[in-house]
A and B are shown apart, each in its own frame.
Chain A
């Protein structure tokens, strides 16, 4: 059981949970995630560790309401318990100092991006961050990202905040303006696909953090398999970050729909 110490609502659909997990708070690195199960009937779902406080022994999780499992978590409050929480999982981000980093986060993808932005900044890089979402309400963690970025660009689909347009438009503007040594893209699979196509054109090395469907998160089931450079890899143990230019995004998007009928039924039952 892991106690929820604090809950902060970012929007109607996105909230941050500060959860008691002292061991993970100490051992986790940027890029790591956890798997949680809310209750005895619950599904195991992966969530990125968006930050931690090793002294207080807490980790931050930012969750967006999608289907049944994320909604069940979303309904919990400070003082409630999460039944199962295991981690840290996955490979940590390779933090180094290439020079200028362009970090692009779409929607709730900004949460997993935060610790990576922080680490790249601390490693001495110049960091330009782009936060993108459908509208103003869905822009999250702006202040936290600003703290670790040299520049922050906001893009919204409807223009309700920042510049109107897709994340790729913002990214291309930056790329044409100055030399970018490395790019990071985290968000919906479609967004990462188009970011990858863009940076490929400009030959900028790019990392994408994949959100494959998972069960155990320990390499035991293969639900999370993804094709990278023509090879089948497991997102949970080989990733979740991969060289974006090698990822078969179309396959990833197809696989994300693998249980959509079953999930739809589950959602109908839940509502």
Chain B
């Protein structure tokens, strides 16, 4: 899928692009400032768990922003995108006002542009590699906003194209899990004419997109539209089905499934194993977010309960931590804190989310780490002990290693603690399939080119292969696996 230079060149030389480049001088383009995303006011938005913070660009704003893009002869932005979206092409279509064409361009490479436009860490990927960032030291073209704009425009236009599907070839394949990796896999296989079934353990399709990422960042209806499209393409979804438990791979093979794509995610929450961590009121971010997002626990009409803390501490600095702390704010927390052992600059969360969290009144307690929890006589957490950290030498990841500052402990009153310190690969499939090779972190080993595991008919991708990663990488894996599974099955059937 890597960007083919000549192809990009020939696309760039097309008349409409050349014309468009001539319309505005580059110095005028670079003089423009980056468009701000219209968003709901922080005081307003913290009252709603289910309203999106970003409102999206208007057509006019999108076209203005798109005109900042220089349509570079060597578009470095593409190198920053894990799936090599033809960025200048879709951006120029937006500048031209051909929004549906822009959406189509996105879909040549990305199965879920409306999702990636919202959740990709653009500032580390495409936008980090934009000419503006690299050479001009200016704010990059807002590629993420534009991607979201084009995808939303298409969806709302009523002209959403259902991709053409090749005649059915009668070959049955299965995807295990229904996160972004499986969804993109399923779309590609359906296009190729395969009979695709997606098996999901939970009662909802979408994986982390549904149970993890909150509505204020990624509305469920956006995911649902993608699911409906896949259904129209003939993809079958089976909920409440745990592959390896409800039925084994052998059972499914006996039912005619010839190959499998395992994308069972990195669902296992990690805890810190410090004293008092099992008190009531201390939960994993997965539990907290699942209760709220999947089970609607914040609404009185639904039976699942959730603790609505007044003093909430969230441990960690990733997207999961930001989602949890902002959820707590929305559920009425008076004090919502992030407790993170490194400095602000090292937080792995998307910059936009950290910024939004700050606007919403989240407190950041950086260079701090919990060491112990205390509880009332009923076992409900009421206080936590935190230790100050300093920064030492850089570690393997290049980040400076946090070091404990002895004697720096202090206590904070809390009534809800959400632990968001990472996830491990879901162990279910590796433990059910004997000959499957996994590495020491419990992720499934695959050939990076083909996504094929040690068992030929079993392919894998997404977080079960990478550990906790990103939506776009999961999606890229799904597409790669589809392409190579197709080759594998074609060979087999010859």
Q: Which residues of A are in contact with B by a Cβ distance under 8 Å?
A: 23-24, 27, 37, 41-44, 68-69, 72, 83-89, 215-216, 218-223, 225, 227, 232, 237, 251, 254-255, 257-259, 262-263, 265-266, 269
Contact = CB atoms under 8 A, between A and B. Distances in A.
Q: Which 9 A-B pairs have the closest CB atoms?
A: A262-B305, A254-B379, A221-B287, A258-B280, A86-B240, A43-B303, A220-B267, A222-B284, A84-B203
Q: Which of A41, A68, A86, A220 is packed against the most chain B CB atoms within 10 Å?
A: A220
A72 B303 CA distance: 10
27 contacts: A37-B203, A41-B296, A41-B302, A43-B295, A43-B302, A43-B303, A72-B303, A86-B242, A89-B242, A89-B245, A218-B428, A219-B267, A220-B267, A220-B268, A220-B269, A220-B290, A221-B269, A221-B286, A221-B290, A222-B287, A232-B273, A254-B280, A254-B379, A255-B278, A257-B379, A258-B280, A266-B303
A218 B291 contact: no
Contact of A215 (B281, B290, B301): B290
Given A232-B271, A262-B307, A219 B428 contact: yes
A82 B59 CA distance: 46
B302 A232 contact: no
B280 A257 contact: yes
B49 interface: no
B246 A222 contact: no
A86 B295 contact: no
B378 interface: yes
Contacts of B286: 220-222
A89 B247 CA distance: 12
A255 B303 contact: no
Contacts of A266: 303, 305
Interface of B: 201-203, 239-242, 245-248, 251, 267-269, 271, 273, 277-281, 283-284, 286-287, 290-291, 295-296, 300-307, 378-380, 426-428
B488 to A, nearest CB: 27
A262 B299 CA distance: 12
Nearest to B300: A269
Contacts, number: 119
Given A222-B287, A232-B273, A255-B278, A27 B303 contact: no
A27 B203 contact: no
Given A41-B302, A258-B280, A258-B380, 10 more contacts: A69-B303, A87-B242, A87-B245, A215-B295, A218-B201, A222-B287, A232-B278, A254-B279, A254-B378, A263-B305
Q: Is the interface of B mostly helix, strand, loop or mixed?
A: loop
B246 A215 contact: no
A7 B241 CA distance: 25
B173 to A, nearest CB: 19
A68 B301 CA distance: 12
A265 B283 CA distance: 21
Contact of B269 (A43, A222, A258): A222
Contacts of B280: 254-255, 257-258
B245 A258 contact: no
Contact of A27 (B245, B281, B296, B305): B245
Nearest to B203: A84
A84 B284 contact: no
B278 A223 contact: no
Contacts of A227: 278
Contacts of B273: 232
Nearest to A248: B278
A87 B245 CA distance: 7
A262 B380 CA distance: 13
A216 B267 CA distance: 11
A258 B201 contact: no
B298 to A, nearest CB: 11
B276 to A, nearest CB: 11
Contacts of A27: 245-248, 251
Contact of B284 (A68, A72, A221): A221
Nearest to B302: A41
Contacts of B247: 23, 27
A255 B303 CA distance: 19
Contacts of A221: 269, 283-284, 286-287, 290
A255 B287 CA distance: 14
A72 B302 CA distance: 13
Contacts of A43: 295, 302-304
Nearest to A45: B303
A221 B268 CA distance: 7
